[in-house]
Amino acid sequence: MIDIKLIRENKELVKENIKKKYQDDKLPLVDEVYEMDEKNRKLKTEVENLKAEKNTISKSIGQLMGQGKTEEAEEAKLKVKEINDKIPALEEEQTKLDEEIKKRMMVIPNIISPDTPIGKDDSENVEVQKFGEPVVPPYEIPYHADILATFDGLDKDASGRTSGNGFYYLMGDVARLSSAMLSYARDFMIDKGFTYCIPPFMIRSDVVNGVMSFAEMDAMMYKIEGEDLFLIGTSEHSMIGKFKDQIIDKTKLPITMTSYSPCFRKEVGAHGIEERGIYRVHQFEKQEMIVICEPEESVEWYEKMWRFTVELFRSLDIPVRQLECCSGDLADLKFRSCDIEAWSPRQQQYFEVGSCSNLTDAQARRLGIRAKSDKGNYYLHTLNNTVLASTRALIALIENNYQEDGSVKIPKVLQPYMGGKEVILPKK
């Protein structure tokens, strides 16, 4: 949520930002908020003036009575009663306006970074740089589900019976490899100075509304029937929510945390759920990182965070690239975002394995995350980034370490987490 001062002082800037995001249907909201806010401030002034007048008159009543001016004192009492009768109606109107303003402010997108390329959707995202040399081996690399099947490592028939499409069983060495990557990612971030956390896997609606837009919530979140609880789509939600309505001690900034969680997603939209494989599924595991920092530090933290992901994937012998997300691909709360994509030697193209976002103070305003200074309380900036998402990272690792004999090499950094095993051999 943006600061309403932006609409008061430069509503054309807000409108231009909406146009850059190709959300012209939201343009009328800016004028509506502007007009409601003006009316609301006039009401506030009127109420304050009435209260001041009431106090002045109330003080005069005793003086008038002491001077024997009974008739004038009674007139003053009637005036006080008249004011008392008028104030509640004005305050009720104020409350209604506050609600209408907030409802509109919650869907007006955050101001995007001047470095964000302008484009309608993810097809217009811009490649910034590559890390590692993409390799296409001289032998065929099968589809990842077929590779996993040779290790007896994936069972989607059974998950179809228990849970339906979009779920899976990982088995044996494949399941162990997935856990090894998550454990390695955890330790990697701890070594970077981040505090490890296992957060709640369900959150209330007020936290959901604080961390994401309504459109994202509808497309992603599973609601628990009969409860004010949602399954998290990423642990960023509960990690940022941890600081809801808190005034954070400046000496404790920046807050840097890394978290493990399962993630649950509807995956509603054009992409759909993958029938055979594990690229787009309803459930996976993830190591995440979040930062809460001073406003002037968030640009620097954004650069650090996505580079951590690049470093981790390169240590797994996986080539990656960074894509700058264009304006139309940015979720409403994001100031700037980039995707990290891993090389697929089978497809001979890159695919998304993580995303890093700077949300400036958009989440902090919704959730009331502030710090205190000599000049008063102010909103902090929040950032999040995928360290490693289990299923997609597993696909990238399997493909980039697949050998001609059907085995998969285990990168050196993962071998301690695999009991020293250097390779996975096919059983079929």
Span 166-201, pLDDT tens digits: 999 999 999 999 999 999 999 999 999 999 999 999
In the predicted structure, residue 321 carries a pLDDT above the cut 90 = yes
Is residue 221 a contact partner of residue 208, using CB atoms and an 8 Å limit? Answer: yes
Asked, for residue 147, whether it belongs to a domain, the answer is: yes
Higher pLDDT, 267 or 395: 395
Is residue 123 a contact partner of residue 22, using CB atoms and an 8 Å limit? Answer: no
Domain boundary among 44, 77, 105: 105
Residues 130 and 83 in one domain: no
Residues 148 and 244 in one domain: yes
pLDDT value, residue 63: 80
Residues 298 and 323 in one domain: yes
Asked, for residue 110, whether it belongs to a domain, the answer is: no
β-sheet with 376-379: strand ranges across = 247-248, 370-373, 376-379
Grouping H, G, I as helix, E, B as strand and the rest as coil, residue 156 is helix
pLDDT value, residue 249: 93
Q: Quick one: average pLDDT of 348-353?
A: 96
DSSP-derived secondary structure letter, 402: B
Q: How many domains does the chain have?
A: 2
Residues 70 and 13 in one domain: yes
Torsion (CA) 339, 313, 359, 191 in degrees, nearest 10: 180
Residues 175 and 69 in one domain: no
Is residue 356 a contact partner of residue 383, using CB atoms and an 8 Å limit? Answer: yes
What confidence tier does 270 reach under pLDDT thresholds 50, 70, 90?
low
- Those residues whose C-beta lies under 8 Å from the C-beta of residue 206, and which sit 6 or more positions away, are 244
Asked, for residue 111, whether it belongs to a domain, the answer is: no
Grouping H, G, I as helix, E, B as strand and the rest as coil, residue 106 is coil
CATH of the domain at 13: 1.10.287.40
Is residue 160 a contact partner of residue 166, using CB atoms and an 8 Å limit? Answer: no
Q: Quick one: average pLDDT of 34-44?
A: 95
Residues 408 and 301 in one domain: yes
Residues 142 and 291 in one domain: yes
Higher pLDDT, 276 or 114: 114
Domain boundary among 105, 140, 157: 105
pLDDT value, residue 218: 80
Using alpha carbons only, give the angle 400, 174, 416 rounded to the nearest 5 degrees.
Answer: 80
Residues 163 and 298 in one domain: yes
Residues 174 and 271 in one domain: yes
In the predicted structure, residue 229 carries a pLDDT above the cut 60 = yes
Residues 209 and 154 in one domain: yes
CA distances 265 to 166, 229, 274, 317, Å, are 10, 14, 13, 29
Residue span of the structural domain in which 220 resides: 122-424
Higher pLDDT, 55 or 271: 55
CATH of the domain at 152: 3.30.930.10
Asked, for residue 117, whether it belongs to a domain, the answer is: no
Residues 140 and 181 in one domain: yes
**Average pLDDT score, the chain:** 94
Query: Which structure tokens are listed for 340?
Result: 């990290």
In the predicted structure, residue 67 carries a pLDDT above the cut 90 = no
What confidence tier does 319 reach under pLDDT thresholds 50, 70, 90?
very high
What confidence tier does 271 reach under pLDDT thresholds 50, 70, 90?
low
Residue 90: its H or E element: helix 70-105
Domain boundary among 105, 131, 159: 105
In the chain, % of residues over pLDDT 90: 85
Phi and psi dihedrals of 232, rounded to 5? -70, 145
Asked, for residue 112, whether it belongs to a domain, the answer is: no
Residues 87 and 222 in one domain: no
